[in-house]
C-alpha cells in the first residue's frame, strides 16, 4: 500500500445523514400535510391555515427534540450498563475474556494460534476497548450527545417545516392548497437528491421515493380536511 494512501467511506455519513434527512423530511411532509388539510376545509380562514402551520412547526420540532433526547439517552444508558458489566467480567475472569476475544477473531477467519496472540496483545493494550469494539460492537468515540442530538433533530425539522409555513403566509388563501403542495414536492425532491448524493445512492430512486410518499400523505390529509370541513 502506498504511503499516504487514504480511503473515503460514505458509511461514516450514515448517522448524521439519516438524522438530518429524517428530520427535514418529517418537517416538510407533516407541516405541509397539516396546512393542506386545514386549507382544504371550506370554512378555514387564512389566519387559521397559517396558525396550523406554525403550530405544526413548533410542536413538531419540540416533539422531535424530545424523542431524540430520550432515544439517545436510553441508548447511552444501555451502552454504559454493558460496558460496566464487561469491566466487571474483565476484573473477575481475565483469562475467560481473553479466550472469548480470541474466539471472536477465529470466527472472523483468523487462525486459532494467531487469534490467541492478537487477543492477548489487545487485552494488554486496552482490554475494555477491545471488548467494546469486537464483542459489543460499539464505536471507540462513544455514542451521540443527547442534547446535541435533540437540538440537531429540532433544527432539521424546523428547517423543513419553515418552507410550507412561509408559502402559506405569502400566497392568497384560495391558492394555499396548490401552492403548499407544489412547494413541498419541490423541497422533498431537492432533499431526496441531496441525501442521495451525500450518501452515494441513486438520485432518481431517492427522489421518487420521497416525493411519492409525500404526495400521498398530503393528498390523503387534504381529502380528510375537505370531507371533515363539509361535514362540520
**Is the residue at 216 inside a domain?**
yes
**Is the residue at 51 inside a domain?**
yes
In this predicted structure, the answer to whether residue 181 has a pLDDT above a threshold of 50 is: yes
In this predicted structure, the answer to whether residue 116 has a pLDDT above a threshold of 80 is: yes
List the domain range (segments joined by +) for residue 87: 23-227
- When pLDDT is cut at 50, 70 and 90, the band that residue 162 belongs to is very high
**Is the residue at 36 inside a domain?**
yes
Kindly state the average pLDDT of the residues 154-178. 92
129/51: higher pLDDT? 51
CB 129 within 8 Å of CB 140: yes
| Tally of domains within the chain | 1
Q: How many Cα atoms are found within 13 Å in the side-chain-facing hemisphere of 176?
A: 30
**Is the residue at 7 inside a domain?**
no
**Is the residue at 44 inside a domain?**
yes
The angle formed by the CA atoms of residues 151, 187 and 170, to the nearest 5 degrees, is: 90
Listing DSSP states for 82-112 in one string gives HHHHHHHHHHH-HHHHHHHHHHHHHHTT--H
**Is the residue at 12 inside a domain?**
no
**Is the residue at 17 inside a domain?**
no
**Is the residue at 1 inside a domain?**
no
Query: Residues 1-12: pLDDT tens digits?
Result: 444 445 544 444
| pTM passes above 0.75 | no
Amino acid at each position: 500500500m502506498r504511503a499516504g494512501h487514504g480511503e473515503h467511506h460514505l458509511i461514516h455519513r450514515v448517522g448524521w445523514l439519516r438524522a438530518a434527512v429524517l428530520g427535514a423530511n418529517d418537517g416538510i411532509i407533516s407541516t405541509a400535510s397539516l396546512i393542506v388539510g386545514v386549507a382544504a376545509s371550506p370554512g378555514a380562514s387564512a389566519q387559521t391555515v397559517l396558525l396550523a402551520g406554525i403550530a405544526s412547526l413548533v410542536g413538531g420540532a419540540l416533539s422531535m427534540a424530545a424523542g431524540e433526547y430520550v432515544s439517545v439517552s436510553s441508548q447511552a444508558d444501555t451502552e454504559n450498563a454493558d460496558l460496566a458489566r464487561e469491566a466487571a467480567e474483565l476484573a473477575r475472569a481475565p483469562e475467560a475474556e481473553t479466550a472469548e476475544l480470541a474466539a471472536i477473531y477465529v470466527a472472523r477467519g483468523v487462525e486459532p494460534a494467531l487469534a490467541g496472540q492478537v487477543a492477548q496483545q489487545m487485552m494488554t493494550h486496552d482490554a475494555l476497548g477491545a471488548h467494546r469494539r469486537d464483542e459489543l460492537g460499539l464505536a471507540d468515540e462513544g455514542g451521540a450527545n443527547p442534547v446535541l442530538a435533540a437540538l440537531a433533530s429540532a433544527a432539521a425539522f424546523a428547517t423543513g417545516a419553515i418552507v410550507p409555513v412561509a408559502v402559506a403566509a405569502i400566497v392568497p388563501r384560495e391558492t394555499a392548497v396548490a401552492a403548499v403542495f407544489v412547494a413541498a414536492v419541490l423541497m422533498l425532491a431537492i432533499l431526496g437528491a441531496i441525501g442521495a448524493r451525500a450518501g452515494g445512492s441513486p438520485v432518481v430512486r431517492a427522489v421518487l421515493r420521497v416525493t411519492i410518499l409525500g404526495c400521498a400523505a398530503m393528498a390523503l390529509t387534504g381529502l380528510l380536511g375537505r370531507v371533515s370541513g363539509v361535514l362540520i
